[in-house]
């Protein structure tokens, strides 16, 4: 994998520094440090951030957009959503800048298509869901999930390295990219049966690009399948094998994605099959999830009981 050029770190101007320090004084226990804030706060700096992404990272974005690496949280991502969501950048100008790079031969089609699809495809879709379905949408809970949000979501202190890495990035920077949000954090919350409203509150609390319209459909619909499939035709549940394939997190983890149950087993493996066991009556009717349910039911009953018991013991340990 090519290493991306490090994005330029903005120096805080006097007003930004004063505001950041004042917020740190008023909220001393809030995540993050005033000195670490380095996002654009002006239109000019936001345009420069867009230019830098287009020129230095867009070309590799399409190839590596789903990759997760412990040593580099940003990789080839744009980190433009905070500025987009408060109006410092316009979606159309970001899309046109990417299109121009393609026409000039500076970025391949799959990279440009992937970026534009996120900016004026997915982003506008979730905005439409919000305005179409709110306010009732905020209380959806199609899987009847009631487990409290684990406390380690506010500390990052867990032996699961994928979760710890993604959580610490969020706690330190208020940001990580879409695969970490969906397939690490969202995946864990989905399979653990965490109350979707508690999960939504956490995402809204923690992310610098969070707005109610942004997070409602992304968290409740896409990540937690709490809307009964309105946003996505299947729940995005994944075992440790997916995390191992798409990241290097498992290399430094206390658990092994190759161990399915018993000592050293990745909790995601246990939660994955426990999820399909819990919701088998619903998921077997879905063409996209019927196969894993049938695979699960073909296992010996004693094996299924053991996996479910281990999964429940892990969930009980969360408090």
Single out the residue in 98, 133, 168 at which a domain terminates. 133
- 146 and 115 together in one domain: no
Look at residue 65 and tell me if it is in a domain. yes
- 160 and 261 together in one domain: yes
Residue 4 scores a pLDDT above 80? no
Look at residue 221 and tell me if it is in a domain. yes
CA dist 55 and 40 (Å) reads: 18
CA dist 223 and 161 (Å) reads: 20
- 100 and 183 together in one domain: no
- 80 and 168 together in one domain: no
Q: Which residues pair with 265 in a beta bridge?
A: 256
- 129 and 146 together in one domain: no
The predicted pLDDT at position 212 comes to 93
Confidence band (pLDDT; 50, 70, 90) for 1? low
C-alpha 131, offset from chain centre: 22
Q: Which residues contact 30 (CB under 8 A, 6 or more apart)?
A: 23, 24
The predicted pLDDT at position 32 comes to 85
CA dist 318 and 314 (Å) reads: 7
The predicted pLDDT at position 26 comes to 94
What mean pLDDT comes out for the span 11-38?
88
Mind listing the pLDDT tens digit for each residue in 260-283?
Answer: 999 999 999 999 999 999 999 999
Residues in the chain: 319
Mind listing the pLDDT tens digit for each residue in 120-130?
Answer: 999 999 999 99
Single out the residue in 133, 149, 164 at which a domain terminates. 133
Range of the domain at 58: 14-133
Residue 187 scores a pLDDT above 70? yes
- 187 and 85 together in one domain: no
CATH of the domain at 53: 1.25.40.80
Confidence band (pLDDT; 50, 70, 90) for 6? low
Domains of the chain: total: 2
Three-state SS for the chain is: CCCCCCCCCCCCCHHHHHHHHHHHHHCCCCCCCHHHCCCCCCHHHHHHHHHHHHHHCHHHHHHHCCCEECCECCCCCCCCHHHHHCCCCCHHHHHHHHHHHHHCCCCCHHHHHHHHHHHHHHHHHHHHHHHHHCCHHHHCCCCCCCECCCHHHHCCCCCCHHHHHHHHHHHHHCCCCHHHHHHHHHHHHHHHCECHHHHHHHHHHHCCCCCHHHHHHHHHHHHCCCCCCCCCCCCCCCCHHHHHHHECHHHHCCCECCCCCCCCECHHHHHHHHHHHHCHHHHCCCCCCHHHHHHHHCCCHHHHHHHHHHHHHHHHHCC
């Amino acid at each position: 994998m090519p290493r991306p050029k490090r994005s330029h770190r903005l120096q805080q101007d006097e007003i930004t520094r004063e505001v950041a320090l004042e917020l740190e004084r008023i909220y001393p226990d809030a995540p993050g440090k005033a000195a670490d804030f380095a996002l654009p706060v002006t239109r000019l700096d936001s345009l420069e951030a867009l230019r830098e992404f287009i020129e230095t990272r867009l070309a590799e974005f399409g190839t590596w957009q789903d990759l997760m690496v412990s040593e580099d949280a940003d990789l080839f991502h744009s980190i433009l959503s905070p500025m987009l969501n408060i109006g410092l950048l316009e979606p159309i100008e970001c899309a046109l800048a990417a299109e121009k790079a393609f026409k000039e031969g500076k970025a391949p089609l799959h990279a440009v298509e992937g970026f534009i699809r996120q900016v004026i495809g997915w982003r506008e879709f979730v905005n439409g869901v919000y305005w179409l379905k709110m306010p009732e949408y905020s209380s959806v809970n199609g899987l009847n999930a009631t487990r409290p949000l684990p406390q380690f979501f506010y500390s990052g202190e867990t032996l699961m390295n994928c979760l710890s890495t993604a959580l610490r990035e969020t706690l330190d920077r208020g940001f990580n990219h879409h695969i970490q949000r969906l397939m690490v954090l969202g995946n864990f919350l989905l399979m653990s049966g965490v109350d979707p409203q508690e999960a939504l509150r956490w995402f809204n609390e923690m992310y610098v690009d969070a707005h109610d319209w942004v997070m409602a459909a992304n968290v409740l619909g896409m990540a937690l399948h709490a809307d009964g499939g309105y946003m996505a035709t299947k729940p995005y549940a994944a075992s440790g094998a997916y995390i191992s394939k798409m990241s290097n997190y498992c290399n430094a983890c206390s658990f092994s994605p190759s161990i399915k149950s018993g000592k050293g087993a990745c909790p995601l493996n246990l939660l994955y099959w426990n999820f399909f066991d819990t919701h088998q009556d619903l998921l077997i009717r879905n063409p996209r999830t019927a196969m894993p349910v049938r695979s699960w039911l073909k296992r010996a009953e004693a094996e299924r009981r053991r996996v479910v018991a281990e999964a429940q013991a892990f969930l009980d340990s969360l408090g």
